Chain A
Amino acid sequence: MTGQAFFVLTALADEPRHGYGIVGEVAELSGGRVRLKIGSLYGVLDRLAAEGLIEPDREEAHDGRLRRYYRLTRDGRGALAEEAELRAATARVVRVKLGLAGAEAAG
């Protein structure tokens, strides 16, 4: 799973969001490191929808324009949990190798 897809799925983990809402949430989740462009976002959304990991939730009119909300599917939730576990395990190994895990426990 790419970093962008991981962040998009994470942004949808707690509630359905529309396109620009996802961009904002991803920027916040990443501490401003990941700023998705709309072209990149819809490339990711299209792929995640085709893989069955997200689906449209509802459409709302806002100031005369359409906002389509997306939510995680059951498969999407599973894939995100699996990816998060994998990344956490990798991070644990890195911390041990850097000698940070022991220092933190002691601190």
Chain B
Amino acid sequence: MSGELERRYRRVLRLLPGYYRAQWEQDMIGAFLDGWLTGDPESDEYISRVARPGWAEVTSVAGLAARLYLGGAGAPRRYFAWGQAVRRAVLAVLLVHAVLAVDILVFLERGRRLVGWLPPPPASLVIAAPGGVWGMAYYLASVAWIASFVTLAVGHYRTARVLAALAIVPGLAALIQAQLTGIMPAPFASWPFWVLIDLAPVLAMTAFHRNAPPAVPLPWLLALPAGYLLVYGPLLALQATGNSAWLPDFPGLCCILVSLACLAHAPRAWSRRAGGTGPWSLTLVLLAAVAGAYRIVTLSYYLHDPHLITVSLTELLIVLATVVLVAPDAVRAQTATPAPPPYPRAMTA
């Protein structure tokens, strides 16, 4: 009598992990059908033929599935490892955004001499600061990225999510305007950047749910000034000494940074004594996938220049070669990472 409708709901519930379905599927199907069926055989047969799961129901099941696959405390090992890896990858991408934002604000300050006692920058490093509404939106987005990173690191997940969602809006608006008019209104980035580096982490912030163990804030917060000095120190030195030709573009820089992180992590990933490295290895595999995808989709920018294509492919090969070092540990993480007990809030990421 409820056969067709039940089949449709079972199809929706296939979004959920198998272990969860084994425990709850029958119960959930009963609850879904209770919402439709009347007990009158004729009406129920008609309803069963024509009724479909609503979008709100499908969305709520999809949301539940995302929280379960990106597991937190009490989740099976595999899903806990994926949850930790995605949470750390999101923090790492937000750290990159925050470092970029600090750089933008530093240049704004130095270009406009907002703090009078600081020395002016060398003429070779001065860039034209965007003005008007778009310029303001650009700077506000930068501040929002820094605030989002900090609030996420200290465990205010909802605030971080709202700030990050706001931070990606000006970039999208500028890209749409550029699409319509052919003119980019401010130094916002490209569609690949917006999709992979802006939108993807905002969507992946689903991993920061109620059961997600909070990150240890201090190392992440210290990584912001450290990251700025370690990345922009060498870059500015290259630029100031007239060696700009050695500067990688942003996708190349992402590949190099992920490769360096893989090399730094590899000894721990291969050590038999170091435990619990798996989620970090999985994090690096995810970051390498993002950096690699970004490098591949931006190859088309250099089709006119065989030298730059060679450089870009070399960056891609380097990231592939280094991620192979941590990949076995990432695979092991899915079976070897013990999940913390259910729902205490004092765990560390």
Contact = CB atoms under 8 A, between A and B. Distances in A.
Nearest to A39: B60
A40 B61 CA distance: 7
B35 interface: yes
Interface residues of A, number: 25
B28 A42 contact: yes
B63 A20 contact: no
B61 A39 contact: yes
A40 B64 CA distance: 7
Contact of A51 (B20, B61, B343): B343
A38 B31 contact: yes
Contacts of B29: 65-66
A51 B342 contact: yes
Contact of B343 (A37, A47, A65): A47
A77 interface: no
Interface in B195-214: 210-211
Interface of B: 1-2, 6, 20, 23-24, 26-35, 37, 39, 56-57, 59-64, 67, 74, 210-211, 342-343
Contacts of A42: 24, 27-28, 31, 64
B17 to A, nearest CB: 12
Interface of A: 2, 18-21, 23, 37-43, 45-47, 50-51, 62-68
Nearest to B32: A38
Contact of A19 (B27, B37, B57): B27
A39 B67 CA distance: 11
A50 to B, nearest CB: 4
B30 A68 contact: yes
